[in-house]
């Protein structure tokens, strides 16, 4: 998918929500989506970071984004309902939803895994994507062509040692993606897929392998075309798939 070429106005008139938009891959993806015409809703927990990416997008002359500060770890049912209400009032629909935010605090053997951390990681990486998708289904249904994208990781598929709750949550999210794709395949405009960015120079990999030089990892800019493909009209009809961004 790394060779996919997106036309410049690929996402014109599309409203896309990106979680974890303040840093790492989410930040780069949000900016790239906006440069291709999307109105991007920047959801994240650190307002300062969201403001920085907001300014970058505005200065680039792309459609004006929106900031939605939300801590996915502590959000309750009302917070999700409030988000849906705000988006309904501001935009009336949603064309794209990218589950990108992640909580990962490093590699640990299961025998020593902190129990509180286990719950927190499952909350951000598995429960939040479920709660967010559930809350926003009504708005996604109002789109002519809506795309929900989860973020996969091979560490989960391979059951890699020491990846703990993060890998378990990503495995759960893969199943969630497939269930949603099956349930929404008929009579809705919503497709549901996952993107596997592969290892790139961004927060997760840098925290997993702190001793290795950052230059060892793929430049995250090189995987962005796969996000454009999945969130734009060229992937219409594709659902229930895992797209490998570096293949």
Q: Which of 68, 166, 227, 229 is catalytic?
A: 166
Decide whether 46 or 175 has the Cβ nearer to ligand NAP: 46
Q: Give contact residues for ligand NAP (rule: CB under 6 A).
A: 20, 22-26, 44-46, 49, 71-73, 100-103, 124, 151, 153, 197, 199-200, 202-205
Say which DSSP state 63 is in: P
The region, left, alpha or beta by phi > 0 then psi within -120 to 50, assigned to residue 171 is alpha
Q: Minimal distance in Å, beta carbon 198 to ligand NAP?
A: 6
Decide whether 141 or 246 has the Cβ nearer to ligand NAP: 246
Residue 113: active-site member: no
Q: Minimal distance in Å, beta carbon 240 to ligand NAP?
A: 19
Distances (CA, A) of 182 to 67, 130, 156, 178: 31, 15, 22, 6
Q: Sheet containing 96-98: which strands, arranged edge to edge?
A: 66-69, 39-44, 15-19, 96-98, 146-151, 190-196, 242-244
| Alpha helices by DSSP H, the chain | 24-35, 47-59, 77-90, 115-122, 128-141, 154-157, 164-184, 203-208, 224-231
Q: Minimal distance in Å, beta carbon 128 to ligand NAP?
A: 7
Q: Minimal distance in Å, beta carbon 159 to ligand NAP?
A: 15
Decide whether 52 or 186 has the Cβ nearer to ligand NAP: 52
Q: How far apart are CA 147 and CA 64, in angstroms?
A: 21
Decide whether 144 or 161 has the Cβ nearer to ligand NAP: 161
Residues tagged active-site: 166
């Amino acid at each position: 998918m790394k060779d996919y070429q997106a036309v410049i106005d690929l996402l014109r008139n599309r409203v896309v929500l990106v979680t974890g938009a303040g840093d790492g891959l989410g930040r780069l993806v949000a900016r790239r989506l906006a440069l291709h015409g999307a109105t991007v809703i920047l959801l994240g927990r650190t307002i300062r970071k969201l403001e920085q990416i907001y300014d970058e997008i505005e200065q680039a002359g792309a459609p004006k984004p929106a900031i939605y500060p939300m801590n996915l770890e502590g959000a309750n049912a009302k917070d999700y309902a409030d988000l849906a209400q705000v988006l309904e009032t501001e935009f009336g629909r949603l064309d794209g939803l990218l589950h990108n935010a992640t909580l990962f605090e490093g590699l640990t053997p299961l025998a020593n895994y902190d129990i509180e951390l286990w719950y927190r990681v499952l909350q951000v990486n598995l429960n939040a994507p479920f709660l967010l998708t559930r809350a926003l289904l009504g708005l996604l249904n109002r789109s002519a062509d809506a795309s929900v994208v989860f973020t996969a990781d091979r560490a989960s598929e391979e059951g890699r040692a020491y990846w703990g709750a993060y890998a378990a949550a990503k495995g759960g999210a893969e199943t969630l993606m497939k269930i949603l794709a099956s349930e929404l395949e008929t009579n809705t405009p919503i497709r549901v897929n996952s993107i596997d960015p592969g290892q790139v120079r961004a927060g997760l990999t840098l925290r997993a392998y702190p001793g290795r030089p950052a230059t060892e990892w793929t430049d995250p800019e090189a995987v962005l075309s796969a996000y454009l493909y999945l969130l734009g009209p060229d992937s219409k009809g594709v659902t229930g798939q895992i797209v490998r961004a570096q293949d």
